[in-house]
Amino acid sequence: MIVTGAAQGIGQATAEAFAEAGARVFAVDIKGEAVKRAVAGLARPSLHHARRYDLRDIAGLGGLVEEASESLGNLWALAHVAGTLKRQPLDEVGEEEWDLQLDVDLKAGFFLCRAFGQALVAGGRGGRIVNFSSPGFIRGTRLGAHAYVAAKGGVVSMSRDFARWYGPHGITVNTLLPGPIDTPMQHTDNTEEVVAAGVAACPLGRLGQPEEVASVVVFLASDHASYISGAAISVTGGALMY
Active centre residues (catalytic): 148
Q: What values do phi and psi take at 21, rounded to 5?
A: -80, -5
The answer to whether the CB of 96 falls within 8 A of the CB of 126 is no
∠ CA(5), CA(183), CA(34), 5° rounding?
45
The continuous run of DSSP H or E covering 205 comes out as none
103, 68, 78, 213: which is closest to 159 by C-alpha? 78
Instruction: Say how far apart CA 215 and CA 213 lie, in whole Å.
Output: 5
Q: How many CB atoms lie within 10 A of CB 29?
A: 28
What 3-state DSSP class applies to 5?
coil
